[in-house]
Amino acid sequence: MLRDKKPRPLLLIALLCAVGFIVFMVFPEPLAAEISMEPQWCRSFNTSTVDQTTQQALPQSSSQTKAPADLAEAEANNTPIGFRAGSRYGYFTSEGYFPVLATVQGGVAVADKAFVSWSSAPSSPRILQQPDSTSIAELPLGSVPFFSGESLFAVSADALSLQHYNQAGIRLWSYELSSHVSAFARGRTLTALGMLDGSIDVVDQAGQQQLRFYPGGSRLEVLLGLAISEEGDYIASLSGLDPQRLVVLGRGEGGYRVVSHRYLETAFRTPSSVAILPGAPYVVYRDAGGVGVSALDGSFTGLLPADVETFDLYPAHHHGVYYLVVHAGAKSELLSFRPPARLLGRSSLPDNTEFVRIIGDTMYIACPDGMAQIRIGEL
């Protein structure tokens, strides 16, 4: 007589426990840490009356602490860092000095090595100056200078003509734009321009058009966001309406070709950030409900939840971690993540934050009233 085989629950449970124990021991996944924000110093712009450019160091407050020695090169050399926050612009050091602090009269473009300021009169000269206000060169009247990193550009008043200058203020090239620019990105040698007509122009360091590409695939064509990798190997774009698309181009021997694309659920009609992670094969972009993450080859997608319209990306001081400063209206938030999409922590920034710069793990933020240095850490 055959005996019925009865299930053996105890054995099964023991087996599952053993598997769970092995998984727990072999593949540990640490819990996400919160970001700690440790203020180092803060300064009010109103501690001295400044109506014109000043060349004086502001007094240190008693709360000032010395910057750690392991910061990036700019800090180690104590090179002044350029900023603009509301109606104020100038230069500050990692120790909280303001060698230059001035009030914007009409317009200003500030980088670490130079700045251009001008009054609101159309005939106001655009003088390229060193941080110590030494004149370098004069840029064309009526143009609107701007820096992308340390690269100096200027556009015509209607923003339809683009010029690129070297650090001496000598014009390297001039490029007439086929349409209004709605997205812009700059690599080491290439400049990428996304247009209202839905096209992408890529211009090389000689001012020659290297690529004109229409991502297409949507009922209405427009470029909303654009990124180019440092060496120009990848270009990522957020484009179109109905549907919206993320398109990644990769450079091969025969030029650029589409390496991945995806349709998005979004219908943005405003500028939207896109960035390619330096040192990691991922692109981050404004998506519904946060910052989308996609592998350049399209093999992975993820989301870092946040309220976001635009964002800035910074590699953290420790390898493999990135900071995102996301902006939505007057709100800003700092996110820390490890690619592809592991959120390490987040922290809200003060409302109306108008300037953020992260060097290593040190963040400088400025509101219309003042500036602070904050050390970012993990709890």
Partner 1 sequence: MKRLLIAAGFLFFITVLVFAFRWPVPEIALRSTFAVAELGQNLRGLQFDNQDGGVQAISDGELLFHASGRSLPGNFPVPDGSMVALAHPRDILSVYTGIEQSLDEQLSGPVFEGDILGYSKPGVPLKLFVFDRKAGLFINPLALLPQMADTRAPQLRALSLRLGGADIAADKAKAIAQGQYQLILDALDLLPVPAQALPFSIRLLLNGVERQRLVFDSIKAEKGSLVFPSMLNSQPAAVFTAEGFLNLGTYIFASGSTLVSISLQDYFGNRIERSWTVTVP
Name the site residues for partner 1 (rule: CB under 8 A): 120, 122, 140-144, 146-148, 153, 155-161, 174-186, 196-198, 203, 207-209, 220-222, 224-226, 241, 267, 269-274, 310
Which of 47/208 has CB closer to partner 1?
Answer: 208
* 50 versus 274: smaller Cβ distance to partner 1: 274
Whole-angstrom distance, CA of residue 355 vs CA of residue 48: 20
Q: How many CB atoms lie within 10 A of CB 160?
A: 13
d(CA 195, CA 53) in angstroms, rounded, equals 37
Which of these, 200, 205, 264, lies nearest to 227 by C-alpha position?
A: 200
Q: How far is the CB of 183 from partner 1 (least distance, A)?
A: 6
Residue whose CB is less far from partner 1, 158 or 351? 158
Cβ neighbours of residue 45 closer than 8 Å, sequence gap 6 or more: 85, 88, 101, 368, 369, 370, 371
Nearer to partner 1, 153 or 322 (CB): 153
Structure tokens at 113: 């090595």
Q: What residues contact residue 163 under an 8 Å CB cut-off, 6+ apart?
A: 140, 143, 153, 154, 155, 171, 173, 174, 175
339: left (phi over 0), alpha (psi -120 to 50) or beta: beta
* Shortest distance in whole angstroms from residue 16 CB to partner 1: 49
- Cβ-based nearer residue to partner 1, 241 or 280: 241
d(CA 357, CA 343): 20
CB of 314 to partner 1, least distance (A): 14
Distance CA 187, CA 228 (A): 6
How far apart CA 78 and CA 149 sit, in angstroms, is 18
Nearer to partner 1, 240 or 345 (CB): 240
Output the smallest distance, CB 343 to partner 1, in A.
22
**Four-point Cα dihedral 37, 43, 44, 47, nearest 10:** 160
- Measured from the CB atom, the residue of 40 and 88 that comes closer to partner 1 is 88
Residue indicated by tokens 């120790």 = 95
Measuring CA to CA, which residue among 363, 347, 377, 378 is closest to residue 42? Answer: 363
Q: What is the largest CA-CA distance in the chain?
A: 108
Residue 135: CB minimum distance to partner 1, A: 21
* Rounded least distance, CB 353 to partner 1, Å: 14
Nearer to partner 1, 128 or 274 (CB): 274
Q: Least distance (Å) from partner 1 to the CB of residue 242?
A: 9
The distance of closest approach from Cβ of residue 224 to partner 1 in the complex, given in angstroms and rounded to an integer, is: 7
Q: Which two tokens stand for residue 49?
A: 């009356």
